[in-house]
Every structure is written in C-alpha cells, then in structure tokens.
Amino acid sequence: MYKQYEDDELKQVQKIQLEILQAFSAFCDHWNLKYFLVFGTALGAVRHHGFIPWDDDIDIGMLREDYDKFIELSKDHLDPKYELLTPLINSRYCSTVTHLQKKGTRFVSEFAKNLKCDLGINIDIFAYDYIRDEPKKQKKQMLMTYFYGRLLFLCGSGTPEIPFNGIAGVIARIICYLVHGCLVLFHIKSTWIYRMLLKNSIKYNNIKRSKVTCFEDSTPWKNIMEIEDIFPLKEISFEGTMLKIPHN
C-alpha cells in the first residue's frame, strides 16, 4: 500500500534528487556520455517542466555502452558526496536497478525495506539493451531476464511486498519464502544472479538492431523503444535545468 508524504517531506526528497540529477548530468556532459530521462521523469519534464507533483523518484536511461563507461569512470571520478549501488558493488544490494545516491541520507521504499544495505536518497539509472526483431527470441530473452531479476530480489529478502491479497497472495508469499530459503541454503550469491541477468540482457548487443529495452525494469515488454525515436536527443527544462530526453 502506498503511503502519502507530508508536503515538506516530499519537497526535501525532490530537492536532493534534483541535486543528484544535476551532478549526474554534468558528469555525463563532461565525459561525453549520452543519457535520457525516462518513465515518469520524462513525462514530468514534458507536462510539468519538472517533477510530477507527487513523484518521489527520478529515472534515467542510458544505452549499455554509455552505462558501462559511466560505471567505469565513476570508480575514479565520481564526486565523493555520491555513491553507486549495484549488486557487483555491494552484494547486499539485491536489486536490478542501479542507484546513484547521496551519502549521509536515508531513503527506503516499501518495496526495499527488507534489503540489508544502506539506502539513501537516489536517482535510478536503467541500462538499455538491443533486442532481436523475432518475437520468439524477444520473449525468451525477456522471460530469462525477468526470472533472474525476481530471483535477485528474493536473494535479498524472503518477504517482498506482494501486490495482491487473498489466497493468491498467501501462496505467493509462501513461494517467495521458500525460494529465499533455497537460495540461502545452497549459498547462491546475489552477484552470480546479477551476472546471469546481465548475460541475458546484453545477449544481442553485438548485433545492433532497431529496438532497445531496459531489462532492469520488471516489465521490459512495455519499455521497448525504437532507436530512431531516442536519437538525436533533445533538451528540455526540468526544474530550471536543461536535460536530455528522447527526441520523439
């Protein structure tokens, strides 16, 4: 169940998120890395020239090539006020989505409250990978990444938030608890699961096609975009800062 913010709380979260976003954008511009606003952040930029009034996150997309360069450059050049979170950086962070967070802050969503790592106010960074045109190969890739993505989250918590109630919710909770127990019993590490997710995500990147999606999100089949609709990027004002969005 979603809980409502107090107005001052939400404004403070958004203020720090905007600071992180501005630092991220400046970093990317300096190193010539391409990024683009996605999901509710892109919608907010177009419709409100900033945050959707009730939104509490910022979503960024990058093609895998730029994402990998960003991760590598961040090791030596990221402002020490910020830190990156992936399962390869912190094995206790059992989430598919890369977080760029501000040190010294605390921000835990309902869905991540059982993860055993320090979570701060952050922006979400999604890597976009190429997909095949053939429906069967698309479906197989999406099923495999979906499987490893959910498995990764269960590696960190046996009691995730289940989005439905009744007998179906009870059964789902039992299955999640049992899967989590098996992962612990057989010492299956979050880093191995995450690498399997990556292996399936980048499977077709050496064959650049016309479409990409982000497999870190739980519904990659809803996030397919044509490359020609993304590039060339255009700029738009977001809370007074000029940022990049897909041109179409």
Q: Yes or no: is domain 7-129+212-245 CATH 3.30.460?
A: yes
Contact call for residues 123 and 21 (beta carbons, < 8 A): yes
Span 134-160, pLDDT tens digits:
999 999 999 999 999 989 988 776 455
Q: Which residues of the chain have pLDDT under 70?
A: 1-3, 110-114, 157-165, 168-177, 179-180, 184-186
Quick one: tokens of 229? 């609709």
Query: How many Å apart are CA 158 and CA 115, to the nearest integer?
Result: 10
Prediction pTM value: 0.90
Span 127-138, pLDDT tens digits:
999 998 899 999
Q: How many CB atoms lie within 10 A of CB 187?
A: 7
Residue 166 falls in which region: left (phi positive, over 0), alpha (psi -120 to 50) or beta: left
CA-wise closest residue to 228 among 209, 244, 210 = 210
Compute CA distances 49 → 4, 6, 88, 187, 242, whole Å: 23, 22, 35, 47, 10
Domain boundaries, the chain: 7-129+212-245
List phi, psi (to 5°) of 25. Answer: -60, -45
